[in-house]
Amino acid sequence: MNKKLKIGLFGFGCVGQGLYHVLNNSTGFKADIVKIAVIDKTKTRRVESTLITYNKWEILDNSEIDVVVELIDDADEAFLIVSEALKRGKHVVTANKKMLAQHLEELYHLQNEYNVSLLYEASACGSIPIIRTLEEYFDNEELKKVTGIFNGTTNYILTRTLAENLSYQEALSQAQLKGFAESNPVNDVEGFDPKFKAIIIALHAFGLIIKPNEVLNIGITTLHESDIKYANEKGYKIKLTPHIHRIAHNKVSVFVVPSFIKSHNHLYNVDNEFNGVIVEGDFSGEQFFQGKGAGSYPTGAAVLSDISALSHGYKYEFKKFAQNQIPKFTNDVILEVYFRYNSPEDLRHLQFEEITEKYNGNDFHYVIGKIHLEQLFEYREYILTNHLFISLLNERVELSNDGNRKTVFKKELQIF
C-alpha cells in the first residue's frame, strides 16, 4: 500500500483538532484530509470552510476517500458511520471505545467480509500503544493479566483527593475547571469508560468478545473522606482499576473497581491525567507502560499512528481470537475488598465469604474480607444508592469453588 492517503474526518472536537495539528506537523508521513463532517453550523473553526461538510454521505459516498477517521461522541451514530464506511470498502480509524465495546463482534465480521482494516489504538489508554503491543508482541504468549489505570479523569480526581486532602466533589470540580472532566462526568467517574477499554483489550489479550452488560463497573462517586483517611493512614493510593485476569487456564475475569495501591505497585506513581498498563505473560513476566491517557495531542498522535499503519497495509490479525481454545469469560470469582458501610443491614445484603477485619467507629464502619464478584454485581445499585464504598485490597482473584456463602469472622480489630 504505502501511499498518500485521502481522509474523511468525522468530528472536529478536542481529538479531531489534535489529529489535524499532529498530521500537519509530522515528518516522514503525509496524508490529506479531504473533508471534515461536523454537526454544529454555528461554530467557528480554524480550517478552510471548503473542508467542512454537514452531510455524512458526502464523505461516505466519496470514492476518492479511502480512510474514514471517526472521532465523534455519539456511539450509535459512530457505529452507523463506521459500518457504512467498511461496507463501502473504506478503511476506518476510530477512537470510540463505547461504540467498539458494544459492537465488537459485528465490526470484526464486517472488516473480514469487506477485506478492509479497522484500527482503534486511540480508543484505549491514550498515547500508550497497548493494542498494537498485544497484537504484535504478545500474539503467541499466554497472558496472566492486563490491568492498570485506563482513565485519566478519575486518576486526576483521585490524585488530588490524596495530594491536597480534597473531598471527591472538590477534586471533581477542580478536574472540570482544568478541562479533564466533562460537565457530566458519569461515563468516567462511574467506571463505564475504563470498562469499555477493558472489553476492547480483552479481545486482543485473550481472544474474548464480551458484552458490556456482563462486566461489573463500580466507580468512585461514593468515595468519602473516611475512605481517603483510611487510605492515607495505611499508606495506600486509590486508583480506579480495570482487571483482566486469567483464572486457572481456561477462564478470564474482567471487572472495574477502585483499588488501594501499595508503593511497590507500578501504578502507585501514575498520577494526575496519566495512564498506566501492566501486562504479565507466562514467560515474559511483568511489563509496565505509562503515558498520557487523554488530551488533544496524545490521542491525536495515537490516531495518526493508526493512519500511518494503514499506509503500509496494516490490519489486526486477532490471533488470540483465531485460536482453537479461547478461554471462557467468568464472574464466578472471589475478591478481597475493603467495604465501608452505613449500618448492619448493609452487611446482611452483601454476604461475605470471609471477614478478616471489622471496624465500628463513630463516623464510619468498614470490613475487610472476601466476597463473590457476583454479589457485587447483584448489589451494585444498592451500593451506589446508599453511598457505600468498595475497594480492592490486592490483585489476587480466586476462582470460586462452590456456591456456598458462609460468613466467617476470623478476627475483629478495633483500630484508629
* Cell 471533581, located at residue: 172
Euclidean distance between CA atoms 187 and 219, whole angstroms = 9
Helix (H, G, I), strand (E, B) or coil at 309: helix
The residues with which 285 forms a beta bridge, in sequence order, are 281
Residue ranges of E strands in 267-404: 274-281, 285-292, 328-329, 333-341, 354-360, 365-372, 389-392, 398-399
Task: Give catalytic residues, as residue numbers.
Answer: 197
CB atoms within 10 A of CB 45: 15
The residues with which 237 forms a beta bridge, in sequence order, are 261
Instruction: Annotate 217-245 with b (16+ C-beta within 10 A) or e (fewer).
Output: bbbbbbbbebbbebbeeeebbbbbbbbbb
C-alpha to C-alpha distances, 278 to 45, 139, 149, 182, 262, nearest whole angstrom: 39, 16, 9, 27, 15
Euclidean distance between CA atoms 165 and 14, whole angstroms = 30
